[in-house]
Amino acid sequence: MADPMRVRAAESGGVVDVKILMKHDMESGQRKDAAGKTIPAWFISTINVKANGKDVLNGQFGPAVSKDPFLNFKYKGAKGDKIVVSWVDSKGDKRTDEATAS
Amino acid sequence: MNQQRRSLLKYSAVFGLMASAGLISVAQAQEWNKAAFEGKSLDEVFKILGAGSPEKSGAITLNAPDIAENGAVVPVGITTTLKAEQMAILVEKNPSSLAAQFFIPAGTESFVTTRIKMGQTSNVYGLVKADGKWLMAVKEIKVTLGGCGG
């Protein structure tokens, strides 16, 4: 199981600002190890964010997204919204974390 | 009577197929777009996304630094006054151009920020699909230390 994400969601004026920090190496597939062998790519490929069970963002990442991906977006919502963030990486690993809009 | 029942069965089978075909295409929209992320050049990715040759639009703002000291972490954001359905971030000189793609449902604002890796100084493209049409904004980001190799 991968490390937990940090999810912050703050409501202001009917808009919820969601900030997500995922914990993932996001190996690009371009780097080489000490022996000169290419390190295979390994990265988060899809991410889904739901608020109260409804999709608010779907994303797809390539290996060009930075290590420990950061994501910030806004949707129309309210305090107390239950936000569920899930990602799947290129090896099929999954992680889901929750937060409540404040 | 029996004949009617047969044809009814046939029709329901066809409708069932259509429904499942519809379901499959919905599922695929969320599946990782391998071809697009493996596209080596901008034109290739534009073609796979169905963007053709997107026009530049003043309604799109690409929030990114002029100079990125560390190419491994370059903050890039797209905002637009248009009602975006999809957004994509492309880096012209990366080994694969497409860095990230976002699907924006109704109710979510046309605003996304993330951080990307850049191998070298390059033009960065922020694409927005609004009203079924792809538009873009371009900005050159200078990189002093690459973030792809090493």
Domain boundaries, chain A: 6-100
Strands laid side by side in the B74-80 sheet: A6-12, A15-21, A70-76, B108-116, B74-80, B60-63
Q: A74 and B102: CB-CB below 8 Å?
A: no
Report the percent of chain A where pLDDT is more than 70.
Answer: 99
Q: What is the DSSP letter of A2?
A: P
Q: How many residues does chain B have?
A: 150
> B143 with B122: CB under 8 angstroms?
yes
Domain at B33-143, CATH homologous superfamily: SoxY domain (2.60.40.2470)
Q: What percent of chain B has pLDDT over 90?
A: 49
The residue ranking higher by pLDDT, B5 or A43, is A43
Query: Of A62, A70, A75, which is closest to B99 when you measure between CB atoms?
Result: A62
Which one of B37, B108, B149 has the shortest CB-CB distance to A62? B37
DSSP state of A91: T
Q: Which of A24-33, B114-123, B140-149 has the highest mean pLDDT?
A: B114-123
The model's confidence at residue B147, banded by pLDDT at 50, 70 and 90, is low
Q: What chain A residue is nearest to B96 in terms of C-alpha separation? A: A64
ipTM for the predicted complex: 0.91
- Residue B22: its pLDDT value, please? 46
> Is B12 a residue whose pLDDT tops 70?
no
Contact A64, B94 (CB under 8 A): yes
Question: Which whole number is the average pLDDT over B124-134?
Answer: 92
DSSP state for residue B15 in the 8-state scheme = H
Q: Do A31 and B112 touch (CB under 8 A)?
A: no
A28 touches chain B (CB under 8 A): yes
Q: Does A57 touch chain B (CB under 8 A)?
A: yes
The SS3 call for residue B112 is strand
A28, A65, A90 member nearest B100 (Cβ): A65
Pick from B54, B77, B76, B64: which is nearest to B130 by CA? Answer: B54
Third-level CATH fold of A6-100: Immunoglobulin-like (2.60.40)
The overall longest dimension of chain A from CA atoms, in Å, is 55
Best CA proximity match to B31, nearest among B43, B41, B23 = B23
User: Domain residue spans in chain B?
Assistant: 1-31, 33-143
Which among A60, A56, A34 has a CA at the least distance from the CA of A46? A60
Contacts of residue A46 in chain B, CB cutoff 8 Å? Answer: 30-32
Q: What are the tokens at A63?
A: 């290996």
- The band of B117, judged by pLDDT with boundaries at 50, 70 and 90, is very high
Indicate which of A11, A18, A45, A58 best probes the interface with B, i.e. most B CBs within 10 Å of its own CB.
A58
More confident residue, B36 or A74: A74
Query: What is the rounded distance in angstroms from the CA atom of residue B55 to the CA atom of residue B53?
Result: 7
CA-closest candidate to residue A87, choices A64, A59, A55: A59
> pLDDT tens digits for B53-78?
889 999 999 999 999 988 899 999 99
Q: What is the largest CA-CA distance in chain B?
A: 79
Q: What pLDDT is attached to residue B23?
A: 45
Q: Which residue has the higher pLDDT, A1 or B108?
A: B108
Mean pLDDT of chain A: 91
- Say yes or no to pLDDT of B31 above 80: no
Backbone angles phi, psi at B141, to 5 degrees: -115, 125
Hey, what amino acid is at A34?
A
Q: Of B26, B28, B30, B32, which to mutate for an interface test with A (greatest number of A Cβ within 10 Å)? A: B32
Residue A70 CB partners (closer than 8 Å, separation 6+): A19, A20, A21, A22, B75, B113, B114, B115
In tens, the pLDDT along A6-49 reads: 999 999 999 999 999 999 888 888 888 888 888 888 989 999 99
pLDDT at residue A85 greater than cutoff 70? yes
